[in-house]
Amino acid sequence: MTLPPHRHYNIGIELTEEGPLNSPLYSMTDAESATLKDWLRDELKAGKIRPSKSSISSPVMFVPKKDGSCRLVVDYCCLNNRTKKNVYPLPCPDNLMAQLRGAKIFTKLDLQWGYNNVQVKEGDKWKTAFHTKYGLYKSLVMTFGLTNALAAFQHFMNKLFKDLLDVCVIIYLNDILIYSKDDASHTQHVHEVLRCLIENQLFCKASKCTFHVTSVEYLGIIVLDKGFSLDKLKIQAVQEWPTPSKVKEVQSFLGFANFLCCFVANFSHIARPLHNLVKKDVPWKWDTKEQESFQGLKDAITNAPVLCHADPSKPYFLETNASGAALGSILSQQQEDSRLHPLGFLSESFKGAKQNYNTHDKELLAIIRSFKYWRIFLEGTIHPITVFTDHRNLEYWKESCTFNCCCARWHLLLAGYNFQIVYQPGKQSGKPDALSQRPDHANVPPANQTMLPNPVFANIALVLPEQELQQRIESSLDQDESLEEILQFLQNESKAPLSIKRAFKDYQMEAGLLFYQGRIVVPDVGTLRMDLLQIFHNSPLAGHPGRQQTLELVSCNYYWPGICAEMYWHVDSCETCQRIRKPVLDVCKDVEEEGACGRVYLSRMGDGGLCKYNAEAA
């Protein structure tokens, strides 16, 4: 690729007054450094970047791709926070689809090099500067990660095809769909579009293009010559809900479906057999009428009145949840009746390494997966997207400055979205919970496999397992008198005075455990706290980390008043740490100050009181 020509629609970057514009350099492995060198050489040769002397800069990082390779990207988060937003609207997918009525032949094109086809406006290129261990550079073309890239690119494409839009072409960013009523006119339309692309030095990626077909997938919707149908993946979370085999599974399904009762015609009539089945003292019997009721509700939920059309002028609401085995989410918008109506459902089980994620990362993954799944709706929104989660710690995730490799990739992925995370207790959100806790998602983790012989772990086996400790915590909560008032409040939260609600607003009960700001509260009972410190500091798996690292390991998931002081005392008094660590001070250092110990003063307490003597030093 060569540098694209200057156009009237080159992207500009207008800054606000406040906020930082520099970020620290990210560290890289030797392999990443070698790849960085190659990337810089290729980009310089293509003319897309140049050395810079800019006073601001952003760091670069590597993001893994599906094929196992890595993509180098610039983290423009600080720059984006200070950039005035371009509110040029992205087209509404429903409005685009409305233009296809009567069309029978379709061709889909995908532009090669994407955003790099647009240059950065003169005078603003210094703002795109990024620093590496090999120097400071600036980008001459629009890159992935700039907050206004979507709006600028859509504006560019709309002006480029203004004479063909809604005549024979619809465009969403770099996805171009050509439609016609017959073969003859379609050939002419395709030639006109390709001629326009060639004149503007734009090219298509052949592997992602489809020519002269009667059925094509576009923006997650199957476009047919006879009409439209939703992509099966869009609503399969509900359609593939397994048939219940016990009362608890029926209750879970009804808990999900009851939220939608005002959107489904004859809901009470359809659901009556299932409601009768969960009544007290009614024996379990799954027969034809129960199956018809179950299937009828699934069909009603996934049909037109329930899944509303997305309106980009209204804010989006995303409710997410993750259980031990799966994630679930619902995308909604507020309609004229002031209620949240769902636009789509998502439910997936965790596979592979994701099964081993901790609770925080699983809840975060539910948000990430939802944004990727509904990308065409959530990218470039006018209003902030409200993300509801029942994991309080995620409220502060965007403010964090330190990430591991996985979270860094997620942070970059979400950098282009306008959203806010809001904590919502699990008891107030039943739908995503139900999707993430479908019975066919249970018992997903495989059985434990022996990787190394037991003697290797002889000492580790003596350490109290964390899971067993959590069971002890659950059974010991009512034995700690300092927690009595909090537990009473959570049992009768609705009747508590406003002052008590404010004082205990950060506490909640979940699965028999008491949580404070998303962390398990450890009661002051027996040796619970000491056993926990032993696990995260003294055990062979922990390896006797230092003060700060031990504190981070424990306080990530556990809490009690004075945890910091108690943790420091435990580490400082650890016999193993004291024995193997190097002394901080050199106690044998000679005194070099001139005139030191020039005089010696002696004091003696006798019968006559305090007497003082002094003598010259030897």
DSSP 8-state class, residue 574? -
Q: Which residues share a beta bridge with 509?
A: 514
Residue 357 has pLDDT above 90, yes or no: no
What was the pLDDT predicted at 286?
A: 92
> Helix 247-257 crosses helix 267-277 at what angle (to 10 degrees)?
160
**Dist. CA 494–CA 507, nearest whole Å:** 14
Q: 454-498, pLDDT tens digit by residue?
A: 443 334 333 445 677 888 888 888 888 888 888 888 888 777 788
Query: Which of the four pLDDT bands, split at 50, 70 and 90, describes residue 211?
Result: very high
What is the average per-residue pLDDT within 520-531? 88
User: Could you tell me the two tokens for 255?
Assistant: 């808990």
Distance CA 389, CA 322 (A): 9
**What's the pLDDT score for residue 266?**
57
- Write the pLDDT tens digit of every residue in 368-406: 999 988 887 888 888 999 999 887 777 767 666 555 666
- Band the pLDDT of 19: cuts 50, 70, 90: low
Comparison of pLDDT for 303 and 118, the residue scoring more: 118
Residue 444 has pLDDT above 50, yes or no: no
Query: Residue 317: its pLDDT value, please?
Result: 93
The order of strands in the sheet holding 227-230 is 215-218, 221-224, 227-230
**Position of tokens 């962390």?**
519
Q: How far apart are CA 522 and CA 349, in angstroms?
A: 31
- pLDDT tens for 551-603 read 877 887 888 898 888 888 888 888 888 877 766 555 455 555 555 555 655 55
Give me the torsion for CA of 278, 282, 283, 287, rounded to 10°: -60
Residue 460 pLDDT: 38
Cβ atoms within 10 Å, residue 199: 9
Region 237-251: mean pLDDT is 83
Residue 121 has pLDDT above 70, yes or no: yes
3-state secondary structure 119-183: EECCCCHHHHCEEECCEEEEECECCCCCCCHHHHHHHHHHHHCCCCECCCEEEECCEEEEEECCH
Using the predicted structure, report yes or no on whether residue 511 has a pLDDT greater than 80. no
411-438: per-residue pLDDT in tens? 778 888 888 888 887 655 555 555 566 5
Q: CA geometry: angle at 78 spanning 158 and 72, to 5°?
A: 70
Write the DSSP symbol of residue 83. Answer: B
pLDDT of residue 600: 59
pLDDT at 462: 37
pLDDT at 528 over 70: yes
Q: What is the pLDDT of residue 582?
A: 65
Separation between Cα atoms, residue 207 and residue 392, nearest integer Å: 44
Tokens found for residue 246: 């016990």
Helix locations, 201-353, DSSP H: 232-239, 247-257, 267-277, 288-301
| In the chain, % of residues over pLDDT 90 | 10
Calculate mean pLDDT across residues 299-324: 75
Q: Tell me, what's the pLDDT at 117?
A: 84
Identify the CA nearest to 526 among candidates 580, 469, 571: 469
String of DSSP letters for 372-421: HHTHHHHTT-SSPEEEEES-GGGGGGGG-----HHHHHHHHHTTT--EEE
- Residue with the bigger pLDDT between 594 and 95: it is 95
Backbone angles phi, psi at 127, to 5 degrees: -75, -20
For 148, left (φ over 0), alpha (ψ -120 to 50), or beta?
alpha
Q: Which domains can be identified in the chain, with CATH numbers?
A: 30-228 (3.30.70.270), 233-301 (3.30.70.270), 316-441 (3.30.420.10), 461-580 (no CATH)
pLDDT band at 176 (very low <50, low <70, confident <90, very high): very high
What the block records as the tokens of 279 is: 């009544």
- The Cα 282–Cα 393 span in angstroms is 42
A 10 A CB-CB count for 304 gives: 8
Q: Is the pLDDT of residue 186 over 80?
A: yes
Res 615 pLDDT > 60? no
Q: Is pTM beyond 0.85 here? A: no
33 within 8 A of 62, measured Cβ to Cβ:
no
Residue environment code for 367-401, b if the CB has 16+ CB neighbours within 10 A, otherwise e = bbbbbebbebbbbbbeeebbbbbbbbbbbebeeee
* Other Cβ atoms closer than 10 A to 146: 25
- Residues 130 and 35: their CA atoms lie apart, in Å, by 16
According to DSSP, the residues that pair with 171 across neighbouring strands are 176
d(CA 3, CA 120): 11
d(CA 424, CA 185): 54
Neighbours of 448 (CB within 10 A): 6
Q: At which residue do the structure tokens 């006798």 appear? A: 606
